[in-house]
Amino acid sequence: MEVTDVVCPLCGCVCDDVVVEVEDNKVTKVKGACAVGKSKLMGHGRITSPAIRENGVLKDCSYDEAIKRAAEILAAARRPLMYGWSSTVCEASKVGIELAEEIGAVIDNTASVCHGPSVLAIQDVGLPSCTLGEVKNRADLVIYWGANPAAAHGNHMKRYSYISKGYFLPEGKKEKKLAVVDVRETKSAKLADVFIRIEPGKDYLVLSALRALLLGYDDVVPEEVGGVSKKDLLELVQMMKETKFGIIFFGMGVTHSRGRHNNIVNAIQVTRAAHKHTKFNIMPMRGHYNVNGFNQVCTWETGFPFSVDLSEGYAWYNPGETSSTDLLMRGECDAALFIATDPGAHFPGESIRHLSKIPVIQIDPYANPTTEFADVVIPAAISGIEAEGTVYRMDNIPLRLRKMIETEYMTDEAIMKGILKETRLLTLSRRL
Amino acid sequence: MQTIRLKLKEEVTGRNARIPVDASLLTPDKLFGKRESEIKAVNVWWGNRKENTGELFDVSVEGEAGSAEEVKIVMDGDLSRVKHIGEGMKAGEIEANGDVDMHCGAMMAGGRITVKRNADCWAGREMRGGELVIEGDAGDNLCAMYRGEMTGMTGGKVVVGGNAGECVGQYMAGGEIQIKRNADILAGLNMKGGKITIEGNAVMPGADMTGGEITVKGKVQDMIPSFKFVETTTVEGEEYKKYLGDLAMTEKKAKGMLYVR
Amino acid sequence: MAIELLIKNGVVYDPINGVNGEKKDICIRDGKVVAEVKNPTVLDAKGRVVMPGGVDVHAHIAGGKVNSGRLLRPEDGRRGIEPKTTACRACSGYSVPNTFATGYRYAKMGYTFVMEPAMPPLAARHTHEELIDTPILDNATIPLIDNNWMTMDYVKSGDIDLLAAYIAWIIKATKGYGVKIVNPGGTEAWAWGKNCDLNDAVPHFDVTPAEIIKALAEANEKFEMPHSIHVHGNMLGHPGNYERTVETYDLVKGVKATKDRPVMHATHTQFFAYGGTTWGDFESKAKAIADYVNNNEHVSIDLGSVILGDTTTMTADGPMEYSLYQITGRKWTNHDVELETGSGITPFLYSGKVSVHTIQWAIGMELALLVKDPWKVALTTDHPNAGPFIGYPILISMLMSKKRRDESAADMHSAIYKRAELPSIDRELDLYEIAIITRAGTAKILGLDAHGKGHLGLGADADVAIYDITPEEQDAGKIQKAFLNTKYTIKGGQVVVMDGEVVAAPPGRTFFVTPECDPKLTEEMMPNLKEKFEKYYSVTFANYPVQDAYVPNPYEIKAPMRG
Q: Where are the domains of chain B?
A: 1-110, 118-261
C29: helix, strand or coil: strand
CA distance A184 to A181: 9
Residue in A208, A221, A330 nearest the CB of B18 = A330
Residue in A220, A321, A334 nearest the CB of B228 = A220
Could you tell me where the beta strands, DSSP code E, fall in A120-176? Answer: 128-130, 141-145
Give the closest-approach CA distance of A179 to chain C in angstroms: 20
Domain boundaries, chain A: 45-111+289-431, 116-284
Tell me: the pLDDT tens digits for A99-120? 999 999 999 999 988 888 999 9
How many other C-beta atoms lie within 10 A of the C-beta of residue C22? 12
Give the closest-approach CA distance of C447 to chain A in angstroms: 29
Residues 6+ away with beta carbon under 8 Å from C275? C239, C240, C242, C282, C283, C284, C285, C288
CA distance C373 to A111: 53
- Cβ neighbours of B228 in A, within 8 Å: 217, 220
CATH number of C54-451: 3.20.20
In Å, how far are A177, A270, A378, C325 from A211, measured between CA atoms? 20, 5, 50, 18
CB B42 within 8 A of CB B26: yes
Domain A45-111+289-431 fold: Rossmann fold (3.40.50)
CA distance C120 to C539: 14
Q: C562: burial class by Cβ within 10 Å (0-12, 13-18, 19+)?
A: exposed
Residues 6+ away with beta carbon under 8 Å from C53? C110, C111, C112, C113, C439, C453, C461, C463, C464, C465, C489, C490, C491
Which residues share a beta bridge with C300? C265
Please give the angle made by the CA atoms of C553, C555 and C560, to the nearest 5 degrees. Answer: 150
- Cβ neighbours of A304 in C, within 8 Å: 70, 74, 77, 92
| Among A94, A131, A294, the residue to mutate for chain C (most C Cβ within 10 A) | A131
Whether residues C334 and A129 touch (CB distance < 8 A) is answered with: yes
Architecture in CATH of A116-284 = 3-Layer(aba) Sandwich (3.40)
- Show which of residues 120-149 on chain C sit within 8 Å of chain A, judged by CB atoms: 122-123, 125-126, 129-130, 133, 149
Question: Is the CB of B167 inside 8 Å of chain A's CB atoms?
Answer: yes
3-state SS record for chain B = CEEEEEEECHHHHCCCCCCCEECCCCCHHHHCCCCHHHHHCCEEEECCEEEEHHHHEEEEEEECCCCHHHEEEEEECCCCCEECCCCCCCCCEEEECCCECCCCCCCCCCCEEEECCCECCCCCCCCCCCEEEECCCECCCCCCCCCCCCCCCCCCEEEECCCECCCCCCCCCCCEEEECCCECECCCCCCCCCEEEECCCEECCCCCCCCCEEEECCCEECCCCCCEEEEEEEECCEEEEEEEECHHHCCCCCCEEEEEC
Q: C378: burial class by Cβ within 10 Å (0-12, 13-18, 19+)?
A: buried
Q: Tell me the CB-side half-sphere exposure of residue A95, using CA atoms within 13 A.
A: 18
Instruction: Indicate the helix (H) or strand (E) that contains A270.
Output: helix A260-274
Residue in A4, A137, A310 nearest the CB of C542 = A4
- Cβ neighbours of C125 in A, within 8 Å: 390, 398-400
Question: Is the CB of A357 inside 8 Å of chain B's CB atoms?
Answer: yes
> Residue A154 — very low, low, confident or very high, per pLDDT cuts 50/70/90?
confident
Residue type, position C85, single letter: T
Residue type, position C146, single letter: D
Whether residues A220 and B246 touch (CB distance < 8 A) is answered with: no
Answering whether pTM is above 0.95, one says yes
- Show which of residues 60-79 on chain C sit within 8 Å of chain B, judged by CB atoms: 72-78
> Residue B15 — very low, low, confident or very high, per pLDDT cuts 50/70/90?
confident
Give the closest-approach CA distance of A396 to chain C in angstroms: 7
The answer, yes or no, to whether residue A151 has pLDDT greater than 90, is no
| Among A311, A355, A375, the residue to mutate for chain B (most B Cβ within 10 A) | A311
Q: Report the percent of chain A where pLDDT is more than 70.
A: 99
pLDDT given at position B22:
98
CB C222 within 8 A of CB C346: no
Whether residues C334 and A128 touch (CB distance < 8 A) is answered with: yes
Question: Is the CB of C477 inside 8 Å of chain A's CB atoms?
Answer: no
Could you tell me where the beta strands, DSSP code E, fall in A7-155? Answer: 18-23, 26-31, 51-54, 57-60, 80-84, 106-109, 128-130, 141-145
CB A263 within 8 A of CB A203: yes
The answer, yes or no, to whether residue B16 has pLDDT greater than 90, is no
In Å, how far are B114, B123, B131, B178, B202 from B158, measured between CA atoms? 10, 9, 6, 6, 17
Tell me: the pLDDT tens digits for B89-133? 999 999 999 999 999 999 999 999 999 999 999 999 999 999 999
pLDDT given at position A153:
87
pLDDT given at position C1:
55
C512: helix, strand or coil: strand
- Cβ neighbours of B146 in C, within 8 Å: 74-75, 78
Looking at residues B10-37, what average pLDDT do you find? 94
Question: Is the CB of C86 inside 8 Å of chain A's CB atoms?
Answer: no
pLDDT given at position A429:
74
In Å, how far are A346, A359, B107, B155 from B129, measured between CA atoms? 42, 44, 8, 5
> Residue A68 — very low, low, confident or very high, per pLDDT cuts 50/70/90?
very high
Q: Report the neighbours of B using a cutoff of 3 or more CB pairs below 8 angstroms.
A: A, C
Chain A to chain C, count of Cβ pairs less than 8 Å apart?
184
Whether residues A400 and C536 touch (CB distance < 8 A) is answered with: no
pLDDT given at position A112:
86
pLDDT given at position A431:
64
pLDDT given at position B14:
77
| Among C68, C71, C75, C328, the residue to mutate for chain B (most B Cβ within 10 A) | C75
Residue in A130, A136, A244 nearest the CB of C336 = A130
Residue in B20, B146, B226 nearest the CB of A209 = B226
- Cβ neighbours of A266 in B, within 8 Å: 207, 248
Whether residues B17 and A320 touch (CB distance < 8 A) is answered with: no
Q: Report the percent of chain B where pLDDT is more than 90.
A: 98
Tell me: the pLDDT tens digits for B136-181? 999 999 999 999 999 999 999 999 999 999 999 999 999 999 999 9
Question: Is the CB of B253 inside 8 Å of chain C's CB atoms?
Answer: yes
Q: Report the percent of chain B where pLDDT is more than 70.
A: 100
Whether residues C76 and B150 touch (CB distance < 8 A) is answered with: no
Of the options 3.30.70.1290, 2.30.40.10, 1.10.150.120, 1.10.540.10, the CATH number for the domain spanning C4-52+457-502: 2.30.40.10
Question: Helix C519-535 to helix C160-173 angle, to the nearest 10 degrees?
Answer: 70
What are the backbone dihedrals phi and psi of residue A152, each rounded to the nearest 5 degrees, phi first?
A: -100, -30
Whether residues C322 and A119 touch (CB distance < 8 A) is answered with: no
CA distance B4 to B8: 13
Mean pLDDT in each 10-residue stretch from start to end of chain C (563 residues)? Answer: 89 98 97 97 96 98 98 98 96 98 98 98 98 98 98 98 98 98 98 97 97 98 98 97 98 96 98 97 98 98 98 97 95 98 98 98 98 98 98 98 98 97 98 98 98 98 98 97 98 98 98 98 98 98 98 98 85
Question: Is the CB of A211 inside 8 Å of chain B's CB atoms?
Answer: yes
